[in-house]
Amino acid sequence: MLEYEELRDSKEAEKLCLKAAPECAGMRLDVFLQERAEGLTRSYLQKLIRDGMALVNGKKGKAGGKLRAGDVVELTVPEAASLEVCPEDIPLDILYEDQDVIVINKPKDMVVHPAAGHYSGTVVNALLYHCKEDLSGINGVLRPGIVHRIDRNTTGSLVICKNDHAHRALAEQLKEHSITRSYRAIVHGRLEDDGVVRAAIGRHPVKRKEMAVNVPNAKEAVTHYRVLEKFERFTYIECRLETGRTHQIRVHMKSIGHPVLGDDVYGPAKCPFPGLQGQTLHAMTLGFIHPSKGEYLEVEAPLPEYFEALLKKLRMGSEGAGK
């Protein structure tokens, strides 16, 4: 068996078959699965384990059970699509809206669409209340209208499609890399010059919730960055995506030794700013050809208050500032 193998049966359930590598010896079963089953919370995984949905070498596993090298873990995740996603009266910061699309400024700590462990409080729940039936159905009941995503702790511009025509048009622009996507970020270390990162991104072979560069089955990924402000130990930058891989900016900046400040997955274990929750990454500018009007539309999401406050602290604090 390979180091990891994924099997999927969309009609009944999602099944993962994983083999514990030598470095996983002694790891708790729930921790092992949390690192490899993307989108599943530890509490939800513990419930699945209690329900007998996780087998270790063919036998029912225990959440706190310690794995040995070579153990084969089989996890069955019940079909999510059978769940009803309910409209919720959650305020949306709307940047632009017409009969085809709606662009919102997504706040931090908000998941875009329902997934295991997150079936309420998502952008989709809010959209179902705001848009009623006016959402494209191409991505099914769990992701109506969703044509692209940004991470839970990333803020900023997100476009949602209200009909299938708009969805197909924007999906094609995403495929052709013609959509303008500009981000703002604060990264560790001092970058002296603008640059570009060209490094293919794929699923980490061991830490299955993470992405990595230059791994098997990686896909082309290109990120352009421009230095906006330099501080003693940090740099404020603009990033423009040429491609749109999962965690692309976060993985690329880590790969060149400048992880995004506050990133609790790809950055340092200890955040230098106590109280900062999640990465300082903001999807500021989003531009695309309008699916019906045929004209270029560009929307900008202002920096969130926490981001502005952090920049002010860096400009005034002991970090020093320069340009």
Q: What is the mean pLDDT of residues 65-83?
A: 81
Q: What is the pLDDT of residue 44?
A: 81
From 30, 71, 100, 151, active-site residue: 151
Q: What is the mean pLDDT of residues 181-209?
A: 93
Q: What is the mean pLDDT of residues 294-323?
A: 85
**Does pLDDT of 317 surpass 80?**
no
Encode pLDDT of 2-59 as tens digits: 232 332 333 345 788 889 989 889 999 998 998 887 667 777 888 899 999 999 999 9
Question: In this structure, what are the phi and psi dihedrals at residue 44, rounded to the nearest 5 degrees?
Answer: -70, -40
The residues, ordered by sequence, that sit 6+ positions from 112 with a Cβ below 8 Å of its Cβ are 106, 122, 123, 124, 146, 149, 150, 152, 158
Q: What is the pLDDT of residue 40?
A: 72
Q: What is the pLDDT of residue 116?
A: 62
Range list of β-strands (E), 217-266: 222-231, 234-241
Amino acid at 22: P
| pLDDT class of 82 with cuts at 50, 70, 90 | very low
Q: What is the pLDDT of residue 79?
A: 62
**Does pLDDT of 183 surpass 50?**
yes
**Does pLDDT of 81 surpass 60?**
no
Q: What is the pLDDT of residue 133?
A: 84
Q: What is the mean pLDDT of residues 177-192?
A: 96
Q: Is 194 a catalytic site residue? A: no
Identify whether the C-beta of residue 154 lies closer than 8 Å to the C-beta of residue 263.
Answer: no
Pairing of strands 155-161, 281-289: parallel
Q: What percent of the chain has pLDDT over 90?
A: 68
Q: What is the pLDDT of residue 117?
A: 65
The pTM of the full predicted model, rounded to 2 decimals, is 0.75
Cα–Cα distance list, 266 to 40, 263, 307 (Å): 18, 6, 19
**Does pLDDT of 83 surpass 70?**
no
Q: Please, where are the H alpha helices in the chain?
A: 29-34, 42-50, 123-131, 164-175, 248-255, 305-316
Encode pLDDT of 233-253 as tens digits: 999 999 999 999 999 999 999
Identify whether the C-beta of residue 235 lies closer than 8 Å to the C-beta of residue 241.
Answer: no
**Does pLDDT of 323 surpass 50?**
no
Q: What is the pLDDT of residue 56?
A: 95
- Tell me the helix, strand and coil percentages in the chain, rounded to 5: 20, 30, 50
Q: What percent of the chain has pLDDT over 70?
A: 91
**Does pLDDT of 137 surpass 70?**
yes
Question: In this structure, what are the phi and psi dihedrals at residue 200, rounded to the nearest 5 degrees?
Answer: -60, 145
In degrees, to the nearest 5, what angle opens at C-alpha 62 toward C-alphas 58 and 66?
Answer: 90
Q: What is the pLDDT of residue 9?
A: 33
Cα–Cα distance list, 195 to 151, 184, 311 (Å): 23, 15, 22
- Domains of the chain are 4-78 (3.10.290.10), 94-175 (3.30.2350.10), 180-322 (3.30.2350.10)
User: How many angstroms separate the CA atoms of 264 and 254, rounded?
Assistant: 12
Residue 96 tokens, joined: 């632009």
* Beta-bridge partners for 231: 321
Question: In this structure, what are the phi and psi dihedrals at residue 305, rounded to the nearest 5 degrees?
Answer: -60, -40
Q: What is the pLDDT of residue 7?
A: 29
Least confident of 51-55, 115-119, 291-295: 115-119
